[in-house]
Amino acid sequence: MYNYIKIEQKEAVTVLTISAPKTLNALNSAVLREMDDALTHLPEGTRVLVVTGEGEKSFVAGADISEMANLNVPQGQTFGNRGAMVFRRIETLPIPVIAAVNGFALGGGCELAMACDIRICSENAKFGQPEVGLGIIPGFSGTVRLSRLVGMGMAKQLIYTGKAIKADEALRIGLVNAVVPQAELMDKALEMANQMAANAPLAVAAAKQCINATYDMDMDSAILYENGAFGQCFGTEDQKNGMKAFLSKEKPAFKGK
C-alpha cells in the first residue's frame, strides 16, 4: 500500500516504520503524504502508536535536502507547512504516540520525535537541529517544540549552533524519556505501549488532551479545564467497569466506551 512506510499492528499497538533506507529515512513530500494517509487510516483497535525508522543507523536523518535545495519562498512555506501539519496531527492524535529513536534524529527527525508524546532512544541515537548550517531554520515546528521540552536557553543553544548531541545528553536535558541498548529499543517501546494500551482509552485520551491544552493556560483556567474533563469520565462505561473491577479485585476489561 505504501512505498516509504510500513504499518504493523500488534494487538492494540500499531507500529509505523519510516522505510527509506537509501536516504536514511529522510522526509520528503511523498513520505509525508504517506504518513498523513496512515494517520488517517490507523488500524481499527489501535490504542497506542509507535513511530520508528527502519535500520540501525537512522530514525530520520532529516528533511530531504535534494527536494528543498531549489525551492523558492512560497514552495518552502508549502513544504514546511506540510511537515508541520503532519506532525501536529501526531501531537493531537487521541492516543499516545511513542517515538522509538534509533540512530540519527536530525532536523525533521528530531522534530518528528518531539511531536510524539514519549521518546525512547537507543544508545547510538543523535539529536540535533542543524538547519542554520544550510541557510534555513527548523521548519516542522522545531523552534516551537524544542524550547517547550528543554527550555528556551538550551533550545537556542542547540538551534543556533546546529550541534548534534548524543543520547546521554538528550536524556540529561529532558529531550528523551529513556535511553536503552539498541537491541532492546523496540522491546522497551512496545512494553511501554502495552502498559498504556491496557488502560482505559477514553481516560488516556482525555489526559493527553488536558496536558496539551492546559500547558500554556493560567493555573485557574487549567484547573477548570481539567475538572470538566474529569467529570466527563464519569459518563463512560470504562469508568464504571474500571471502578467495579477495582472494588471486586478483578482485572478491568476496557472497551473504549
Please report how many Cα atoms fall inside a 13 Å half-sphere around the Cα of residue 190, on the Cβ side: 14
Catalytic residue among 111, 123, 169, 237: 111
Q: How far, in Å, are 96, 106, 145, 206, 231 from residue 142 at the CA level?
A: 20, 11, 5, 25, 35
The torsion angle over the Cα atoms of residues 126, 115, 63 and 161, rounded to 10 degrees, is: -50
Q: CA-based angle 249:251:256, to the nearest 5?
A: 130
> What is the rounded CA–CA span in Å between residue 13 and residue 189?
10
- 67 labelled catalytic: no
Q: Which residues contact 126 (CB under 8 A, 6 or more apart)?
A: 103, 104, 105, 106, 164, 165, 166, 167
> What is the rounded CA–CA span in Å between residue 39 and residue 251?
31
Most distant pair of Cα atoms in the chain: their distance: 65
Q: Which of 81, 69, 90, 89 is nearest to 139 (CA)?
A: 81
State the pairing for strand pair 104-106/126-128. Answer: parallel
> What is the rounded CA–CA span in Å between residue 178 and residue 192?
11
Catalytic residue among 131, 184, 226, 250: 131
> What is the rounded CA–CA span in Å between residue 42 and residue 38?
6
- 123 labelled catalytic: no
Instruction: Supply the residues annotated as catalytic.
Output: 111, 131
